[in-house]
Structure 1
Amino acid sequence: MAGRRREQGCRFGLAFRRRAVLIAALLFASTPSQGSAPCKGRDLFPMIEAEEPAAFAAIEAERAATPFPHGTLFRLSRDGQTSYVFGTLHLDDPRVASFRPSVIAALSSSKTLALESVETGARLLRSIRKDPAAMRAALLAPQDQRPDVLLDAADFAALQTLVAEAGLAASSAGALKPAVLALLLDLPACARKNGVKPYADEAIAELAKAQGARVVGLETMIEQIDILDGFSPEVGRALLVATLRQAGHAEDVVETTIARYALQDLGGLLAWMKSPELIPGVAGAQTPPDFLDRLITRRNQRMRDRAVPLLEKGGVFIAVGAAHLPGERGLLNLLELEGFRVEAVE
């Protein structure tokens, strides 16, 4: 069962998950375990269609209404300058981290690679040592939002079990903000980095550096940490409950995410992420809309603001989490509103 637990953040394409893990490791003496056997989950879409037809119809309708629902690689052009946007998943599965020739060609033609963030573990460590009190304050929950206050005894006991399986200090279960815990507990053992294969965004960075491209970030560490602050107790409770309810189906959620990505069905992926029927027959598994808004939509606007000056010069390859691309307030639509022509390459 342990291998089937803990998945949520990979759907968001959150490159800052690893930073949260590192910070928790440094501050809470955690020892996150490494990857285990390959994941053996199943794509939930056929099950949703068979068991929850109304929910499946709603997902299909949401997808149909979503701008830029299909594709993972897009060409941007304006004023004679050309760049690319590529959606990634923060996983090392070959379906995610093996790149098609069109992606390699687009990257090879680019002078600059823009990732969500490029801040290193060494820089994180320096920041923590410089002001550990501030870093703790950013991660620790206020009294009314502590998990041991928000959850009933049974759910808190289940949370403690997940925390222990993740290799975190026992005290973190009752001390960390719900949003921080949700990210720390987001992957089953089979999908965690094993130290051998790079995640997709890491592999892209290695390729870019090898060809001499400049690598920049669209966000800072502090900005990413600030995203985890300011949720109401109600949202915090719902987020913790969703994390617990998803735990027993983690490998299925991972496989569903990868399956949508492999089909380049980012509109379906985003619609499913928002669905109340995330997992058929499992009540309370829906990720709170406020959490998705903070981790996806608001960040899209910041990424847009940081990307435009780079795109004006051309020759840029932007690689960010796949869920950031589609939607009315997705990164692609926001860039189109800035006057860029957006074309799906594939």
Structure 2
Amino acid sequence: MPDLSLALEKARVPEHSVPFMEAMSQGTAFMEGDYLFLTADDWLMAVAYPLAGDYAHDAFERALRAALRRVPKRLDGVDCWAVGPELPPRLAGHVSDRDSFYSLPADAPVPARLRRPVARAAERLTVREGRDFTPAHRRLWAEFMGRTALKPNVRELFARTEAVLAAPGADLRLLDAVDAEGRLAASLLLDFTPGPFCSYVIGAHSRAYYTPHAADLLFARMLEAARREGKGYIHLGLGVNEGIRRFKEKWGGRPALPYVMAGWREGGVSGSSREAMEGFVRLILQSPSGLSKRQIFESLPQQRPFAMLWELTKGGRTSWIGGTAHFFCCSFEMAFRDLFERVDTVLFEGPLDKETLDEVEQMGKHPDGRHPPLTEVLSEAEIRRLERVVRGPTGRLARLLNAAVPHPADVRGLLADTRHWYAFFSLWAAYLERRGWSQSVDLCAWNTAMDMGKTVIGMESLEEQVASLEAIPLSRVVSFLRDCGDWNAYMRRNMRAYLSGSLNRMLGTTTEFPPRTTRIIDGRNQRFRERMRPFIEEGGTAVFVGSAHMLQLREMLAEDGFTVRQVHPTWRHRLRARLTGENDVLFPTGRV
């Protein structure tokens, strides 16, 4: 692309090396105005060093706004990072690092005090240039990392050296110092991709095959290579600490550009409803802890009104039934507390206590041989794509910007060593958690009911629930995993439908979800109907089942003589229901 070629032609900092940055971050680069950006669907990085002219707050903000329009919006906003010579004043509270880029003119001579040591090293070592990452390099990298305390982002650079060397469009090279026995004494990784300069990326020297001043010899040859390639200077990276600064200054490196880094969250959906806010206030006022009100408020997850709820009335007695989601992006605890003030008993599909969940997990981790491992069904390309989607950004840039997941899911391990339904739920949960979906609607309701001292009952036994999991067709799991590229759109549609309380739209987004089969849904619906009926006929009961069960259960309960009326918690929900014309009231069979 012409604009990205321009970034290489007019590069000012190592971050302008587009192929290298894409390989490290696994993101996609694009230009907005004079500024380079990278994104990987759920995050955005801005390189705020303009390719032309000086940095200006207003120009950068315009480019940033345009770039944000390319990133899919999340409920809680977009995670952003920026590096630049300075950043807008509004980001002052988000600055995480300040430093300087060091550079060295390509025509700089070897410092006088290093000429003799470099000459002696040249007598004992042969310098080679190449792009092959050999077993000798792996041994040197492992030795160096084993004895040196490295930051995670630097360690990731060493770990991904082989990958970046093979990055399309990149001109990265290894500069090696080899002794007379052919052993690797030192090596540098250099990036020649940017037009104006060469970047010194990382380097290591061996103690096992130690040769004095091997690294200095490579620095001298690096200068020669830069001149040979027509580079004006060498980017030596950041100062980092006093020791690294001294080494760079020993070779004549000097601060060239200021460096400021910030990380923040841009945009996001506005706060919760008035009802949820009132719940916040009640919780804050009643809290017995020693935390301040602000600390309590900030520690709570985002609260939303619960719209996937129906009121059941029969014979002057009232109960409620709600559709849940295993994973979600916000909490409904305040809404549940309001609801549970009006009930004595809360029913769930099955038990959700820790012991039961642990038992289900153990079953899922031990295949019974009825289905082949998913690694035998999915192709290598499909597994790699699934890894990228589930694990998210990886590499040096992701670690540097804190965008990498601290403990990413073992995708291959789950596919190879667990039951198909356990792998599906685990991978989907890992993906959602990476996207900020750390809540569970049914678990939130269970824990809230227990905390409020309600009678809590599971309608199914553990054996019945596991049987439903085992009934999930392998083919649907495989299809869902193969379509992982659509997960983001699916997740966002599902979120909007659930928050709006639109059951029809909700089910329209979940037809491809593996457990949503007629066999599973219909069989369990009849079971739920029979087991909840004695409780809801008494009144004062709240029932929670998966949202996919609600479409048929509403009809069943109307057949049983209940008036089923959807609860619209805010005027927006009432207006939406009126405009869409959805049938939010079902009368008992035989009534108009």
TM-score normalised according to structure 2 size: 0.38
Counterpart pick for 1:174 among 397, 416, 437: 416
Give the aligned partner of residue 336 of structure 1.
558
Q: CA deviation at 1:104?
A: 4.6
Contact 2:318 2:540 in 1 (8 A): yes
Find out whether 1:242 has 2:483 as its counterpart: no
Using the TM superposition, give the Cα deviation of residue 89 of structure 1 relative to its aligned residue in structure 2, in angstroms: 2.6
- Of Structure 1 and Structure 2, the greater strand share is in 2
Q: TM-score, normalised by structure 1?
A: 0.60
**Which of 113, 118, 121 is residue 351 of structure 2 equivalent to?**
118
How far did residue 124 of structure 1 move? Answer: 4.8
Which has more radius of gyration? Answer: 2
- Return the match for 2:314 from 75, 78, 81: 78
Cα deviation, 1:212-245, whole Å, max 9, x if unaligned, reads 32111122322222112245xxx42342132231
Matched, 1:255 2:488: no
Cross-structure match for 1:215: 456
Per the alignment, residue 531 of structure 2 pairs with 306
State the one-letter code of the partner of 1:263: S
Q: 2:329 aligns with which of 78, 81, 93?
A: 93
434, 437, 441: which one aligns with 1:200:
441
Give the corresponding residue for 2:143: none
Please name the residue that 1:227 is paired with.
468
Letter in 2 for 1:322: S
Once residues 546 and 527 of structure 2 are traced to their aligned partners in structure 1, the CA distance between those partners, rounded to angstroms, is 14
- Partner AA of 1:237 in structure 2: S
The question of 1:270 aligning with 2:498 is answered no
Aligned CA distance change for structure 1 residues 308 and 199 (closer, same or farther; 3 Å): same
CA deviation string 1:167-204 (max 9, x = no partner): 24744313433333222211354536989x75333333
Gaps of 5+ in 2: 1-25, 28-39, 43-263, 270-306, 393-407, 569-592
Change (3 A) 1:92 1:38: farther
Q: Distance in 2 between matches of 1:296 and 1:201?
A: 17
The residue that corresponds to 1:32 in the other structure is none
- 1:103-142 counterparts in 2 under 5 A? 104-125=337-358, 135=363, 139-142=367-370
How far, CA to CA, are the matches of 1:92 and 1:39 in structure 2? 20
1:228/1:208 Cα in 2 relative to 1: closer, same or farther (>3 Å)?
A: closer
Q: Which residue of 1 aligns with 2:63?
A: none
> Superposed, which structure 2 residues align to 1:9-20 within 5 Å?
none
CA distance, structure 2, for counterparts of residue 160 and residue 190 of structure 1:
14
**Aligned match for 2:376, one of 133, 137, 149:** 149
Query: How many Å apart are 1:79 and its aligned residue?
Result: 3.2
Q: How many residues align?
A: 258
Identity, % of aligned pairs? 21
Cα deviation per residue 1:13-66 (whole Å; 9 max; x = unaligned)? xxxxxxxxxxxxxxxxxxxxxxxx989999xxxxxxxxxxxxxxxxxxxxxxxx
Aligned-partner residue type, residue 564 of structure 2: V
Cα root mean square deviation, aligned: 3.9
User: CA 1:116–1:169 in structure 2 vs 1: closer, same or farther (change >3 Å)?
Assistant: same
- Once the two structures are TM-superposed, the CA of residue 154 in structure 1 deviates from its matched residue by 3.0
Matched residue SS, 1:113: strand
Q: How far 1:338 sits from its partner (Å)?
A: 2.0
Aligned partners of 1:318, 1:162: CA distance in 2, in Å?
A: 35
Secondary structure in 2 matching 1:225: helix
Mapped partners of 1:83, 1:250: distance in 2: 35
Answer 1 or 2: which has greater helix percent: 1
Contact 2:327 2:429 in 1 (8 A): no
Name the SS for the 1:84 alignment partner: strand
Counterpart code for 2:370: P
In structure 1, C-alpha distance between the alignment counterparts of 2:376 and 2:477, rounded to whole Å? 14
Q: 2:542 aligned with 1:317, yes or no?
A: yes
> Is contact 2:310–2:564 with CA below 8 Å preserved after alignment?
yes
